[in-house]
């Protein structure tokens, strides 16, 4: 049975919204926040729906439940305030549950795909099929924004209806060009204040002014910026407003969030092999000394990614401190052993095991010297650690501040 296209609005007023959805394994939250600011670059109001919460412009909507009813409540509240634009992070679980059949998306953005959440979806094919739901429900003449350096985008391209337009983007750090790109990075420059993306000449690049600047650090955020720019341009936002909005977007909590300057200490949500590789690469570019990575892996979730996570860190860091993440009901020592095996296969990093996450962060800071970069990876913005069936209070950023004597 063919899906109804476009998806009918659930309420009469819902059809007034222009909604851009973002899906993929990594980069969804950062891309969505960048998109929201790009949609606001001309002074308009916009919603952001992310794993960090519901935002109406800059205001976090703390009184709204994280549910379909809450989703509709935020849109109704925004509509009453005159808002007509939205950037929405679309998880594979939500899409598998029929998200794209319940709300009309005008533009779909794909970041990348790597192994994750297979315990939820059962197979790789089902995981990809869940992501595809965002795109197969786009209406005729709408746009899919696709990563020209990710092989899974080519599979999505084949599944997306022929009457949906395509806009392709690419950064070289992702890999070789697999499809001609409308927006492509020629050079990515990183410093302690953010990232500048010099664009390959093209009609869209020229309209954007030839380069983009964001306040986030790393090649991954260059890629997210291109994805967000593509989504906003596909939504017919003025290119100068898009560039202005991207430059105004603040760093996203827990996404290479720098919480100390020398040594640089960054909190990052990376918890897949691909994300860890790219985070470590960013740390290496910033480091004048060593790269130290504190990381673990969640329990009861995709054990097959643990050794590859360790390999990526082991091949890039100088010191890997393996610790506990959210072990749930698994033995933390068993999880750590799988990560350590991968680190040793990586061949570069010295490895230390410290199961207490707070103590692991303290060890990293004690080991570090001026010019080093420490990455505390895996939990990002989270404020709890799941041990057994209990969520205990824990924040990586707060643990760093305590270890540094900041309370």
Q: Mean pLDDT across the stretch 190-213?
A: 96
Instruction: Please tell me the distance from the alpha carbon of residue 212 to that of residue 143, in angstroms, as a whole number.
Output: 22
Is residue 383 assigned to a domain? yes
| Together in a domain, 91 and 227 | yes
Q: Radius of gyration over alpha carbons of the chain, in Å?
A: 21
| Together in a domain, 186 and 304 | no
Domain final position from 248, 268, 291: 248
Q: Is 352 within 8 Å of 339 (Cβ atoms)?
A: no
Is residue 221 assigned to a domain? yes
Instruction: Please tell me the distance from the alpha carbon of residue 136 to that of residue 274, in angstroms, as a whole number.
Output: 26
SS3 for 60? strand
pLDDT at res. 115: 60
| Together in a domain, 61 and 147 | yes
| Together in a domain, 215 and 97 | yes
Q: How confident is the model at residue 129 (pLDDT cuts 50, 70, 90)?
A: confident
CATH classification of the domain holding 363: 3.90.190.20
State both tokens at 108: 């779909």
Is residue 5 assigned to a domain? no
SS3 for 47? strand
* Host domain of residue 322: 257-403
Is residue 7 assigned to a domain? no
| Together in a domain, 198 and 346 | no
Q: How far is CA 144 from the centre of its chain?
A: 18
Is residue 6 assigned to a domain? no
Q: Is 209 within 8 Å of 10 (Cβ atoms)?
A: no
CATH classification of the domain holding 75: 3.40.1190.10
Is residue 1 assigned to a domain? no
Q: How confident is the model at residue 191 (pLDDT cuts 50, 70, 90)?
A: confident
pLDDT at res. 117: 46
Check pLDDT > 60 for residue 116.
Answer: no
| Together in a domain, 306 and 234 | no
Which DSSP symbol is given to 328?
Answer: B
Left (φ > 0), alpha (ψ -120 to 50) or beta: where does 384 sit?
Answer: beta
Instruction: Please tell me the distance from the alpha carbon of residue 395 to that of residue 405, in angstroms, as a whole number.
Output: 15
pLDDT at res. 124: 61
H or E element in which residue 170 lies: strand 165-170
Check pLDDT > 50 for residue 211.
Answer: yes
Q: Mean pLDDT across the stretch 44-68?
A: 95
Domain final position from 248, 266, 295: 248
pLDDT at res. 114: 79
| Together in a domain, 189 and 76 | yes
| Together in a domain, 40 and 186 | yes
Is residue 94 assigned to a domain? yes
| Together in a domain, 182 and 300 | no
Q: Mean pLDDT across the stretch 60-89?
A: 96
H or E element in which residue 128 lies: helix 124-136
| Together in a domain, 200 and 345 | no
| Predicted confidence (pLDDT) per residue in 3-33, tens digit | 789 999 999 999 999 999 999 989 999 999 9
Domain final position from 248, 281, 316: 248
| Together in a domain, 206 and 325 | no
Q: Mean pLDDT across the stretch 178-204?
A: 96
| Together in a domain, 300 and 359 | yes
| Phi, then psi, of 328 in degrees rounded to 5 | 55, -130
Is residue 267 assigned to a domain? yes
Q: How many domains does the chain have?
A: 2
Average pLDDT taken over every residue of the chain:
94
């Amino acid at each position: 049975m063919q899906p109804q296209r476009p998806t009918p609005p659930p309420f009469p007023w819902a059809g007034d919204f222009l909604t851009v959805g973002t899906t993929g394994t990594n980069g969804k939250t950062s891309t969505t926040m960048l998109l929201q600011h790009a949609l606001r670059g001309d002074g308009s109001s916009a919603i952001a729906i992310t794993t960090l919460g519901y935002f109406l412009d800059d205001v976090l909507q703390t009184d709204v439940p994280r549910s379909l009813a809450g989703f509709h409540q935020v849109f109704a509240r925004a509509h009453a305030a005159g808002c007509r634009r939205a950037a929405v992070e679309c998880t594979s679980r939500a899409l598998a549950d029929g998200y794209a059949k319940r709300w009309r998306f005008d533009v779909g953005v794909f970041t990348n795909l790597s192994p994750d959440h297979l315990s939820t979806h059962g197979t790789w094919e089902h995981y990809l099929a869940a992501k595809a739901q965002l795109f197969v429900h786009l209406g005729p003449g709408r746009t899919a924004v696709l990563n020209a350096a990710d092989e899974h985008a080519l599979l999505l391209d084949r599944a997306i209806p022929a009457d949906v337009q395509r806009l392709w983007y690419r950064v070289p750090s992702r890999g070789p060009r697999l499809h001609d790109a409308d927006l492509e990075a020629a050079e990515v420059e990183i410093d302690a204040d953010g990232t500048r993306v010099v664009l390959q000449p093209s009609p869209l690049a020229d309209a954007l002014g030839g380069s983009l600047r964001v306040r986030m650090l790393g090649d991954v955020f260059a890629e997210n910026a291109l994805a967000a720019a593509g989504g906003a341009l596909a939504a017919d936002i003025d290119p100068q407003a898009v560039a202005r909005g991207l430059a105004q977007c603040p760093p996203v909590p827990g996404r290479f969030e720098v919480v100390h300057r020398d040594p640089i200490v960054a909190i990052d949500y990376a918890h897949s092999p691909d994300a860890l590789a790219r985070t470590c690469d960013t740390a290496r570019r910033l480091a004048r000394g060593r790269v130290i990575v504190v990381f673990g892996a969640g329990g009861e979730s995709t054990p097959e990614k643990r050794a590859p996570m360790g390999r990526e860190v082991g091949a890039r860091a100088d010191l890997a401190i393996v610790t506990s993440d959210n072990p749930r009901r698994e033995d933390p020592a068993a999880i750590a052993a799988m990560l350590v095996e991968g680190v040793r296969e990586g061949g570069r990093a010295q490895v230390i095991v410290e199961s207490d996450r707070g103590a692991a962060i303290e060890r990293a800071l004690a080991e570090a010297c001026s010019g080093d970069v420490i990455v505390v990876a895996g939990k990002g913005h989270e404020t709890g650690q799941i041990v057994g069936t209990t969520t205990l209070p824990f924040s990586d950023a707060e643990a760093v501040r305590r270890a540094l004597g900041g309370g």
